[in-house]
A and B are shown apart, each in its own frame.
Chain A
Amino acid sequence: MVHRDRAQGIRDPVMSDTHPIRLRGVAKHFPLHWRRGRVIAVENLDLEIRRGEVFGLLGPNGSGKSTTLKMILGLTPPTRGEVELFGEPPARPDSRRRLGFLPESPYFYRFLSGAETLRFFGRLCGVPNRRLDERIDELIALVGLAHGRDRPLATYSKGMLQRIGLAQALVHDPELVLLDEPTAGVDPMGSRDIKDLILRLKAAGKTVVLSSHLLEQVEEVCDRVAILHLGRKIVEGPLDSLLSSGDRATLEVSGYDAARTDAIRAALASAGAQLVAVGRPRLTLEEIFVREVRRAGGDKG
């Protein structure tokens, strides 16, 4: 891919290789009818997504996440500024060849079965016919949809639609995957599977951008995040440094005896540290849910 792009003469091959997506000073305004002014969806946005990272685009509803994704996909042109997808304007279909997209609450064609949906999108992405059957089998297995393979999408649950949506985004094995609210409305099992899949994509060297307002889910998978509010970027940085609170750390201790807390405090003091809080580590409700449902054999994946 890289060689081909270089042969086509893109503007900045090195940057486009290390940063699949770049936005510089991007704004998107929607004029209202009858000169009633305009809606500012995105204002003065700079973003650089690095190759191989999982990037979270966060923000409340209406903060401009979906508009930003639409501009990256070339579905809507920015009012100002510059959007580059692999170093090219996204309106060019060639730059979209290396990208897979999962729209928010995808519905697809309800009259197609799971396998037919993947065949259709595979053809649009130019997956050769001889390779398509094999690829459909791989994807159905990857997203755990064997039971939905030949059923029309009209009969799918919300979680199954999200799984087939992920499968179609990956049909041509893209380097970059954009996921709009990938876990919204999905049950904890499905959302666990989707998070695992995102981590597998990262391990395979893919770049993943996901937009979400479900923060605890983003926290588990993202390397870096940006928070948008009213169309402006208010925070951006690596998740680790954003979440760490200065010089604090959590120790997990076995054989703890509440009566000897003072001794522990003294030991820490001799190391120049201070005990701030004592609590019992708890499992998360999600961990219990996933464990119990798996134990009961209800995990369709």
Chain B
Amino acid sequence: MNPLARIAAIARNTLLEALRQRVLNVILVFGLVVLAGANLFSEFSFDDQFKFIKDYCLGVMSLIGVIMAIVAVAQLLPAEMEARTIFTILSKPVRRWEFLMGKYLGVVAMLLLTLLLMTAVSAAVLFAQEHSLVSDAREGLARARDPQAIEAAKASIAKIAAAARDPWLLAAVVLVSLKVLLVAAIALAISTIATSMMFTVVVTSLIYIAGHLESTARAVWLDPAQPAGPAAKVFLAIVSILIPDLGVFNLIDEIVLGNTVTIVYLLKAMAYAGGCLTVVLLVACALFESREL
């Protein structure tokens, strides 16, 4: 029998559990927060309004995604142990790593679905904003008499459309998703040695914060000009080596400001995420294999 079929059955079940517990209601919260925020700054210039909405949507998306990843993964194993369902499953011809990967992929499916829906809500807000600004500009166009004003109105309609429909926003969504999946994998690895959900949440949150400081730590470690003592250097080296650099995925601001992010950068970030995910998941499986149940 194929391990993939068993992993798929466990993943499907984990997703179903999340859906039946109405996890996706978080989308309603997201929608309300985004709508409330987007309409607060209508006195800004259209350019600033779009920047704000994009920044705000991506920021909230990233925050909700990371919180959901940590909490959803942290409760996976404690819930299975408490309900004893893990014993029933592992008494079947299921290997421990298959069980763990099934649980992880189920959470991944839930997270990707949530991120997809949050992207759709954000796109709808941007579209509504574009629609209202364009119809204002059209009124201006209808009133315009001299050719210069007509040209100006046409140009501003084109600029509004360009600002609203920036394809690089999707790149930002991809980077946020990669970060969320990586955080979920880290939480999974921590939860295999944790004895409580709280431990996983706290430790993963600390690693998340350290992950954003990793590039600084590495720079200080590798820069011979930095005046750090040997103990500090060792500490920085450990942080740099053990903790993934989550700053790689933090390009929301750059993209919102319209600074070009290259395809090459995007591919490198994806490869980096893939490498980190592989290592972290292998560690999680190895730790879970030796855990006393």
Judge if A265 is at the interface, Cβ distance under 8 Å. no
Judge if B92 is at the interface, Cβ distance under 8 Å. yes
Judge if B5 is at the interface, Cβ distance under 8 Å. yes
Contact partner, B6, options A70, A73, A107, A123, Cβ 8 Å? A123
Q: Cβ of A96: which chain B residues have Cβ within 8 Å of it? A: 91-93
Q: Cβ of B131: which chain A residues have Cβ within 8 Å of it? A: none
Q: Cβ of B268: which chain A residues have Cβ within 8 Å of it? A: none
Q: Cβ of B92: which chain A residues have Cβ within 8 Å of it? A: 96, 121, 124-125
Shortest beta-carbon distance from B243 to chain A in Å: 28
Interface size class of chain B, counting residues whose CB lies under 8 Å from the partner chain: 20 to 34
Shortest beta-carbon distance from A229 to chain B in Å: 24
Judge if B25 is at the interface, Cβ distance under 8 Å. no
- Contact between B87 and A108, CB atoms less than 8 A apart: no
Interface centre among A104, A109, A120, by most B CB within 10 Å?
A109
Q: Cβ of B83: which chain A residues have Cβ within 8 Å of it? A: 107-110
Contact partner, B90, options A75, A94, A104, Cβ 8 Å? A75
- Contact between B88 and A168, CB atoms less than 8 A apart: yes
Judge if B20 is at the interface, Cβ distance under 8 Å. yes
Q: Cβ of A76: which chain B residues have Cβ within 8 Å of it? A: 292-293
Known: A93-B95, A111-B16. A124 touches B89 (CB 8 A): yes
- Contact between A109 and B94, CB atoms less than 8 A apart: no
Quick one: which of A108-159 are within 8 Å of B by CB? 108-112, 120-121, 123-126
Known: A76-B293, A93-B93. A124 touches B84 (CB 8 A): no
- Contact between B84 and A103, CB atoms less than 8 A apart: yes
- Contact between B1 and A107, CB atoms less than 8 A apart: no
Judge if A55 is at the interface, Cβ distance under 8 Å. no
Contact partner, A111, options B9, B10, B17, Cβ 8 Å? B17
Contact partner, A126, options B5, B87, B292, Cβ 8 Å? B5
- Contact between B20 and A73, CB atoms less than 8 A apart: no
Judge if A106 is at the interface, Cβ distance under 8 Å. yes
Quick one: which of B4-34 are within 8 Å of A by CB? 5-6, 9-10, 13, 16-17, 20-21
Residue interface bits A177-205, CB-to-B below 8 A is 1, else 0: 01000000000000000000000000000
Quick one: which of B109-164 are within 8 Å of A by CB? none
- Contact between B10 and A124, CB atoms less than 8 A apart: yes
Beyond the given pairs A76-B292, A109-B13, 14 more chain A to chain B contacts, judged by CB atoms under 8 angstroms and listed by A's residue number, are A75-B87, A75-B293, A96-B92, A97-B93, A99-B91, A101-B87, A101-B88, A103-B88, A110-B83, A120-B13, A123-B9, A126-B5, A126-B93, A168-B88
Q: Could you pull out 5 A-B pairs where Cβ atoms are within 8 angstroms?
A: A75-B91, A93-B93, A108-B83, A108-B88, A125-B92
List the 9 closest pairs (A to B, CB-CB), nearest first. Answer: A126-B1, A101-B91, A123-B9, A93-B93, A111-B20, A124-B92, A107-B83, A97-B93, A73-B91
